[in-house]
Amino acid sequence: MRVLHFFKTYWPDTFGGVERTIHAIVKGTAKYGVQSDVLSLSKAPDQNNREFDGHIAHKAKLDFEFASTGFSREVFGRFRELSGKADIVHYHFPWPVMDVVHLASQLKKPTLVTYHSDIVKQRVLLQLYKPLMHRFLKSVNTIVATSPNYVATSEVLRHYSAKTTVIPLGLDERDYPHASEDVKARWRERFPKPFFLFVGVLRYYKGVHILLEAAKQTKLDIVLIGEGPMRSSLTAYAKEHSLGNVHFLGALPDTDKTALLELSTGFVFPSHLRSEAFGLSLVEAAMFGKPMISCEIGTGTSYVNLPLETGIVAPPDDPLALAEALETLSQNDAACALRYGANARDRYLANFTADKMAAAYLDLYHQLLQTKRSPT
DSSP string, 113-171: EEE-----S-HHHHHHHHHHHHHHHHHSSEEEES-HHHHHH-TTGGGGGGGEEE----B
Q: Kindly state whether residues 303 and 192 are assigned to the same domain.
A: yes
Q: Kindly state whether residues 244 and 338 are assigned to the same domain.
A: yes
Q: Give the β-pairing of 292-295 and 311-314.
A: parallel
The tens digit of pLDDT for each residue in 246-269 reads 999 999 999 999 999 999 999 999
Number of domains in the chain: 2
Q: Kindly state whether residues 130 and 177 are assigned to the same domain.
A: no
Note the pLDDT of residue 47.
66
Q: Kindly state whether residues 47 and 101 are assigned to the same domain.
A: yes
The tens digit of pLDDT for each residue in 185-232 reads 999 999 999 999 999 999 999 999 999 999 999 999 999 999 999 999
On the question of pLDDT at 112 being above 50, the answer is: yes
Q: Kindly state whether residues 177 and 134 are assigned to the same domain.
A: no
Q: Which domain holds residue 210?
A: 173-351
Note the pLDDT of residue 369.
95
Sheet (strand 111-115) strand order:
50-52, 55-61, 35-42, 2-6, 88-93, 111-115, 142-145, 164-166
Task: Read off the pLDDT band of 124 (50, 70, 90).
Answer: low
Report the CATH number that the domain containing residue 187 is assigned in CATH.
3.40.50.2000
On the question of pLDDT at 317 being above 50, the answer is: yes
Q: Kindly state whether residues 367 and 343 are assigned to the same domain.
A: no
On the question of pLDDT at 334 being above 80, the answer is: no
One-letter amino acid at 207 equals G
Q: Kindly state whether residues 68 and 139 are assigned to the same domain.
A: yes
The tens digit of pLDDT for each residue in 22-77 reads 999 999 999 999 999 999 999 988 766 789 999 999 999 999 988 778 999 999 99
Q: Kindly state whether residues 251 and 363 are assigned to the same domain.
A: no
Q: Kindly state whether residues 120 and 181 are assigned to the same domain.
A: no
Q: Kindly state whether residues 184 and 317 are assigned to the same domain.
A: yes
Task: Read off the pLDDT band of 143 (50, 70, 90).
Answer: very high
Q: Kindly state whether residues 124 and 157 are assigned to the same domain.
A: yes
Region of 308 (left: φ > 0; alpha: ψ -120 to 50; beta: rest) is: left
Q: Kindly state whether residues 278 and 358 are assigned to the same domain.
A: no
